[in-house]
Amino acid sequence: MLVEVVQDQAALSERGGAIVAAQVRRKPHSVLGFPTGSTPLGVYERLIDVHRHEGLSFSQVTTFNLDEYVGLPTSHEQSYHHFMWSRLFDHLDVDPARVHTPRGTAEDLEGFCAWYESQITDAGGIDLQILGIGANGHLAFNEPGSSLASRTRVKPLTQKTIHDNARFFEHEDQVPRSAITMGIGTIMDARRLLLLATGVAKADGIKATLEGPITAMVPATIVQLHPHAHVLIDRAAASKLEYRHHDGVAEPV
Ligand code: GLP
């Protein structure tokens, strides 16, 4: 596990964008896994910059998003589908046929989840999975207690996550109560992981993830077992780590 601590959100965006862009340069037909949330937004802005100003093409890239609220149509402003298109895909030259987001309004949700898994397999697996982390250590919508071997499925959200995500809705009672999410096993199958975290609100989750025992109660701890996990965090998110020698560790991209 490579743990890289950078100064702040701006440095994380710069560095995270460079890592993802390097992956696409190295392999133009990369399969990328994307998260939503506020943490990766700067990385997405950086990718848009690289596309616009350095001419990097994403036309051969295949993408899979981690999760989606159950019940929100793709047009809903708070759907993760809408988030990804408005914040990233609309500004790149992606091929819409290669972009995959879970469908929260599928009639047969279970069948959809199995199909989504098969699409990932058919694409050759995910080369680089970018991840955020919930304050309670969740990955995607794999809440505490999720099986560490789980595959894409529907999961109920915890009260904590509903509360944390209520800021995006008018009222907390508008936040959907469940979501489709890639499983922990699905995420672990990716060839490389890039886990991002910023801010002191993530410091406890990051400490548990990097220095705690591996447990389903903190799903992100599973990254300790991944052979190519890169954890990119800012100083505030790293502030509770005991092993401060993580500071400044970097690898060329
Ligand atoms: C949601 C998403 C996660 C994301 C988390 C953190 O719960 N399902 O994939 O990592 O939010 O979001 P933020 O980056 O806004 O803190």
The finding on whether 197 has its CB within 6 A of some atom of ligand 1 is no
Q: Average per-residue pLDDT in the chain?
A: 94
- State the catalytic residues: 67, 136, 138, 143
Choose the residue to mutate in 12, 36, 231 for probing ligand 1, maximizing ligand atoms within 8 Å of C-beta.
36
The finding on whether 134 has its CB within 6 A of some atom of ligand 1 is yes
In this structure, is residue 145 part of a structural domain? yes
Per residue in 47-64, pLDDT (tens digit) is 999 999 999 999 999 999
| Strand extents, DSSP E, the chain | 2-6, 31-34, 62-65, 67-69, 99-100, 128-131, 153-156, 178-181, 192-197, 229-234
In this structure, is residue 215 part of a structural domain? yes
The finding on whether 140 has its CB within 6 A of some atom of ligand 1 is yes
In this structure, is residue 149 part of a structural domain? yes
The confidence band for 179, taking pLDDT boundaries of 50, 70 and 90, is: very high
Per residue in 198-229, pLDDT (tens digit) is 999 999 999 999 999 999 999 999 999 999 99
In this structure, is residue 249 part of a structural domain? no
Q: What is the pLDDT of residue 147?
A: 97
The finding on whether 199 has its CB within 6 A of some atom of ligand 1 is no
Total-model pTM: 0.95
The confidence band for 253, taking pLDDT boundaries of 50, 70 and 90, is: very low
In this structure, is residue 247 part of a structural domain? no
Burial of 36-53, coded b for 16+ CB within 10 Å and e otherwise, reads bbebbebbbbbbbebbee
Number of structural domains found in the chain: 1
Looking at residues 104-132, what average pLDDT do you find?
Answer: 98
In this structure, is residue 94 part of a structural domain? yes
CATH of residue 82's domain is 3.40.50.1360
- The H-or-E segment that residue 103 falls in is none
Choose the residue to mutate in 12, 133, 154, 231 for probing ligand 1, maximizing ligand atoms within 8 Å of C-beta.
133
Proportion of the chain above pLDDT 90, given as a percent: 91
In this structure, is residue 55 part of a structural domain? yes
In this structure, is residue 240 part of a structural domain? no
Per residue in 95-116, pLDDT (tens digit) is 999 999 999 999 999 999 999 9
In this predicted structure, the answer to whether residue 164 has a pLDDT above a threshold of 90 is no
Q: What is the pLDDT of residue 251?
A: 44
Q: How far is the CA of 56 from the centre of ligand 1 (A)?
A: 27
The finding on whether 205 has its CB within 6 A of some atom of ligand 1 is no
Q: Which domain holds residue 106?
A: 2-234
